[in-house]
Structure formats: C-alpha cells, structure tokens
C-alpha cells in the first residue's frame, strides 16, 4: 500500500479541535516541524499533546503552544521553555509530568494494546500517591491535582500501575522511510519517535529521504509500516532545516 501523501497540509487535513497528538522528538532532535506547522496552519485548537517536551524558542510544539492552541500537555520536561512555564503557572495550561522512562513505556504499551502495567518508578512519591499539580488557578493555588494510583507488591517490591497511552494522531520525523511506512530514525531521534508513532491511531511521518519499497534492509527498520498510516516526503530544504538549541562557537586558530 502506497501511504505517501502529496503534502503535509493534506496529511493533517482531518485534524480537529480537541484532538490528541503523540509527537516525537527529543529536545530539538527528530522533531516533526513540518507537520507541526501544517497543524498550526489548520487553525485547530484545544489540543492535547503527549511528548517528551513542548518545544523550545520558536521551534517544534512551541509554535502551537505560543499561539494558545494547546490545552493539555503530557510530558517529562519543561526545560528552558519559559512560555510553557508561564502558561502552566498562570493556569492556562494543564500539565501532567511523568518520569521519562514511564512516558516512553506508556506510549509503547498503548501502541501494543497493553492497557496498563506496573513499574517501580514513582513509588513513594506524588506520582503514585497523587497530589501533583496538573493545573493552577492563576493565583498560585492548585485547582486540579493528580489522582492516587493503584500500587501492588510483587516479590517484596512495591509497584505503581500506569495506564497505556493512545492518541487520535501521532506526528513523527524519520531519517528514511519507504512508501509502505517503514521508518529508520537517526541517533537520538529514535528515543521518542517510535513509541509516539505506535500510540497514534493515525500516524503521520515526515521523512527526510523517501525510498521505494525494498530500499531499506528489513534488519535496519526501526518502526514497521503497520504503525504508520501516512508518509510525507520532505523537500531538500525542509530535510536540512534543523534547529540548534544552544549554539556555541569558537574562533578557528590561524
């Protein structure tokens, strides 16, 4: 099945207000910037986003966040995104912070049809006991707090129950992909792109290099095409347009 779509705009044409998205990327690496911009151009809002972080500066999900299009973020890292912190503390944004490994496994579990799993991460903290501030009221008080989660002991060790995550859509970026949706990711972009792709009911992949079926050695496939519904081939300019969060330079010695 040829899953290639003519443009990013056509690939996201059916997104809607209130839709949920799993979005790949690790920091500024492997971020599906072209698809995010296409979602922005649709004008939809009230979005729920599941991602390691929510972009930085004017890059990645920060494009949607700064425009007030995101209502809820499920993630691990606020980082240096001052607008993210401002919206959260002002009560404009609901945020569920999750241990990074737990987030990756919740996405993977959702994609594999596993409704929940037990993990030791977070036991004895507000992750398990509840009370983490999901939303503030704008005056410094917590208006919505995380609920207490089920815990259980296995072989003398306590574990907390975490739910798998599924979303309406997933947006990911791959270094290579074929027309059947088989994908290969580059280095650290492999961290969150595969589990994010697995969690989406409709997964859209932007690929830097599109190859014909058979052009990727099956042993090199990081994510099988069964998890991908649409593929967008980036232009050469889009493929090399990658952001640097903190550029450091030094003078070349003579």
The CATH number that applies at residue 66 is 3.40.1080.10
Indicate whether 98 and 31 sit together in one domain. yes
**167 close to 20: Cβ distance less than 8 angstroms:** yes
State the pLDDT confidence band at 250, using cuts at 50, 70 and 90: confident
Does residue 83 belong to any structural domain of this protein?
yes
User: Residue 60 and residue 242: Cα distance in Å, rounded?
Assistant: 10
Judge whether residue 55 has pLDDT over 90. no
Q: What is the mean pLDDT of the chain?
A: 94
- pTM across the whole model: 0.93
Q: Which helix (H) or strand (E) holds 143?
A: strand 142-145
Does residue 49 belong to any structural domain of this protein?
yes
Indicate whether 154 and 181 sit together in one domain. no
Indicate whether 198 and 215 sit together in one domain. yes
97-127 tens-digit pLDDT: 999 999 999 999 999 999 999 999 999 999 9
Q: What's the angle, vertex CA 240, arms to CA 54 and CA 225, rounded to 5?
A: 70
Tokens 């190859």 correspond to 211
Q: How many CB atoms lie within 10 A of CB 41?
A: 11
Alpha carbon separation from 49 to 4, 64, 232, 234 (Å, rounded): 24, 10, 21, 23
Q: Which tokens sit at 61?
A: 């999900």
Q: Shortest CA distance to 144 belongs to which of 154, 156, 133?
A: 133
Indicate whether 136 and 37 sit together in one domain. no
Residue span of the structural domain in which 159 resides: 116-163
Indicate whether 174 and 223 sit together in one domain. yes
């Amino acid at each position: 099945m040829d899953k290639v779509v003519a443009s990013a705009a056509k690939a996201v044409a059916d997104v809607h207000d209130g839709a949920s998205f799993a979005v790949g990327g690790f920091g500024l690496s492997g971020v599906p910037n072209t698809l995010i911009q296409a979602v922005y151009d649709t004008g939809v809002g009230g979005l729920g986003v599941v991602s390691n972080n929510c972009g930085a500066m004017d890059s990645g999900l920060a494009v949607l966040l700064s425009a007030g299009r995101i209502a809820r973020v499920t993630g691990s890292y606020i980082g240096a995104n001052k607008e993210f912190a401002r919206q959260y503390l002002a009560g404009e944004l609901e945020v569920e912070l999750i241990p990074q490994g737990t987030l990756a496994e919740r996405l993977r579990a959702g994609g594999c049809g596993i409704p929940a799993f037990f993990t030791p991460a977070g036991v004895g903290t507000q992750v398990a006991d509840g009370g983490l501030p999901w939303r503030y009221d704008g005056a410094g008080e917590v208006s919505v707090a995380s609920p207490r989660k089920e815990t259980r002991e296995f072989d003398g060790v306590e574990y907390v129950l975490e739910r798998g995550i599924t979303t309406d859509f997933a947006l990911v970026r791959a270094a290579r992909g074929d027309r059947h949706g088989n994908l290969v990711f580059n280095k650290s972009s492999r961290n969150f792109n595969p589990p994010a792709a697995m969690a989406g009911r409709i997964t859209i992949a932007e690929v830097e290099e599109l190859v014909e079926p058979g052009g990727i050695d099956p042993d090199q496939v990081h994510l099988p095409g069964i998890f991908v519904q649409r593929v967008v081939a980036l232009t050469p300019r889009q493929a090399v347009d990658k952001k640097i969060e903190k550029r450091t330079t030094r003078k070349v010695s003579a």
